[in-house]
Structure 1
Amino acid sequence: MTGHISFDVKRVTNITSIFMSLNGKAEVRWTTRTMSRRRTRTHTHKAEIDLFTVITGNNAIGRTVLQEGAQVYPFTFQLPQGDFPSTFKGVHGRVVYFLKVEIHRSLHITKVFETEFNFSRHIDSNHPQLLAPLSGSNSHMVWGLCCASGPVEMTVHLDRKGFVPGETIKIACEFRNSSLRSATPNATLVQNQKYSALDTSVRIECKTLDSVTGEPVKSGTLQAYSEMTLTIPDTSLSISNCSIIDVNYDVLVTLSPCRS
């Protein structure tokens, strides 16, 4: 990582030192309440992990005098080796990476500036395990007027398991509707967020990222084919290498009988 820090100095200023550091951390936090006869108690569940902190000797300057006008200091950081999770901001936690600059002056409070940057963990989307196709099937008996009217069945196929942000998921569906009512297919892309605190508490949140409704399958249709598509948002990344935050994705397909 390369860049520069710059100062717009209004008057001659004495600087003791400038320190720069590259940081990564993961943190979760949420609260719950319990009721008793006399009072309500609030419990805070939290955890934090320091992923790394890098400070290089070249990022500290000795005592110097900054003259009026623009002052520019270039810097270079080498990201440490390691399997770090991608940047993520969720309902109850986040994985964040940031550059911190500290300016020290004699007899003055230290000035601290932080700026965040995005980090994307590299995943080989051509790995055989991610290229393997997926399929699933299910059936359900539809009831009407206290008696069974017939089953609805579906089989769903995905051409592979792994996708990257911005791609489109093509869902091939096979339906059989032996009931007395039409049935409507729906596909949903769901993001599952799992947060784990130090006190072993766990919080799970589900977020719908995309949804599509297909054409109704008429009653008595013994074989129907349909293709639905879902788009993965550009900011959606999996997290499976962090002990306090886990993020994964599901494609849910339903076939719901229409109301009479």
Structure 2
Amino acid sequence: MVAMTKRLKTFQVVFTDPSKTFYCGGDRVCGRVEVEVNEVTRVSAMKLLGLGCAKVEYAKGKQRCRQEAEYLRHEEVLLMDDQPSDSDGSVVLRPGNKYNYTFGFELPQQGQLVSSYKGKFGYVHYYVKAMMERPQQPTLECKKPFEVEEPLDVNTPDLLSPTGGMKEKKVTCMFIPDGQVSLNVKIDRRGFCEGEDICINAKFENTCSRIVVPKAAIIAKHIYQANGRTKVFRQKLSSVRGNHIISGMCDAWQGKTIRVPKIKPSMLGCNIIRVEYALMIYIHIPGSEKLILELPLVIGTCRPWQPKQQREQPGGFG
């Protein structure tokens, strides 16, 4: 964002490495504030603010829920490169010259920041703002956003361990018992990165009179908290389906795969916004509610290093 007036030709923030797509905790954010003027201009001070904050806002009935959290605040007064200042610290800018105010500051260490995010009811934004103060005139401002992506390593024993679950549901027809459906599911780990395949081993059983269909989907849950209230927005990201299962029959998935799409990593460190993922395995039952089992997933930024054949396999079903 560039602030322009009749006196100003250029007033903008430029990062030293414009090709850098994101920053991590501990990185240095470096750049310069470029200024060119159309008329002689006196600048009493050039200040820089580096800011990162999370904000949640949504309506809950007639109430407007809103909450903010700050993760970065850096302030400094910038000095111009190779330009002498007056005794009061001010400088005079003249047309035909390009003036540079350089800056550089270190982001808080990993674990103290949260990744950039933009969702339906909230966001996490980071930006650099330059403020040009002029004697007896309004302060001029310009902004430049930057992205933060905190690494999330799924190479932990907990996330590399197999997980699973089982569930069953009694089916009725006009309040008369009509058998049941059940599922038993295992996956070899909970931690994944985008582009990886989740291998599903599952067994489905149908003893009701209806034809049922087993399905699986990757679900994202965006959880927003404000004013003591919680709002959850769910998304189905990708899905697969199995064969129809007629009454009295079973079916099994042996290594059926569903691919993790291009998505943001799990966001677990923010106290007002969370992004969680789950593998939802469910059975569609005509005329009845679905039988649903959700296995929590963690989507990270660092791929598992263990060779697939060396991981503990969940095995099939006897």
Aligned AA (1:10)? N
Task: Determine helix, strand or coil for the equivalent of 2:158.
Answer: helix
Instruction: Establish whether residue 170 from structure 1 lines up as the match of residue 190 from structure 2.
Output: no
The CA deviation string for residues 55-76 of structure 1, in whole angstroms up to 9 with x for no partner, is: 245x345422334254344322
Q: Which residue of 2 aligns with 1:45?
A: 65
Alpha-carbon contact 2:203-2:250 (below 8 Å) kept:
no
Q: Which residue of 1 aligns with 2:55?
A: 27
Aligned AA (1:14)? R
Alpha-carbon contact 1:170-1:229 (below 8 Å) kept:
yes
In the TM superposition, residue 254 of structure 1 has moved relative to its aligned partner by 0.8
Q: Which residue of 1 aligns with 2:236?
A: 208
TM (normalized to structure 2)?
0.68
In the TM superposition, residue 126 of structure 1 has moved relative to its aligned partner by 0.5
In the TM superposition, residue 87 of structure 1 has moved relative to its aligned partner by 1.4
Q: Which residue of 2 aligns with 1:66?
A: 93
Higher strand share: 1
The CA deviation string for residues 236-255 of structure 1, in whole angstroms up to 9 with x for no partner, is: 23232222222212221111
Aligned AA (1:195)? Y
In the TM superposition, residue 229 of structure 1 has moved relative to its aligned partner by 0.3
In the TM superposition, residue 79 of structure 1 has moved relative to its aligned partner by 0.6
Which aligned pairs between 1:1-260 and structure 2 lie closer than 5 A? Answer: 1-33=29-61, 42-57=62-77, 59-61=78-80, 62-67=89-94, 68-81=96-109, 82-143=111-172, 148-198=177-227, 200-225=228-253, 227-234=256-263, 236-257=264-285
In the TM superposition, residue 214 of structure 1 has moved relative to its aligned partner by 2.9
Q: Which runs of 4+ in 1 moved over 6 A?
A: none
Query: What percent identity do the matched residue pairs reach?
Result: 27
Please list every run of 5 or more consecutive structure 1 residues that lacks an aligned counterpart in the other structure: 34-41
Please list every run of 5 or more consecutive structure 2 residues that lacks an aligned counterpart in the other structure: 1-28, 81-88, 288-318
Kindly tell me: are residues 222 and 244 of structure 1, through their superposed partners in 2, closer, same or farther at Cα, counting changes over 3 Å?
Answer: closer
Aligned AA (2:69)? I
Alpha-carbon contact 1:150-1:180 (below 8 Å) kept:
yes
Task: Determine helix, strand or coil for the equivalent of 2:159.
Answer: helix
Aligned AA (2:93)? L
In the TM superposition, residue 117 of structure 1 has moved relative to its aligned partner by 1.5
Kindly tell me: are residues 105 and 169 of structure 1, through their superposed partners in 2, closer, same or farther at Cα, counting changes over 3 Å?
Answer: farther
C-alpha distance in structure 1 between counterparts of 2:197 and 2:40, whole Å:
57
Tell me which moved more, 108-117 or 162-171. Answer: 162-171
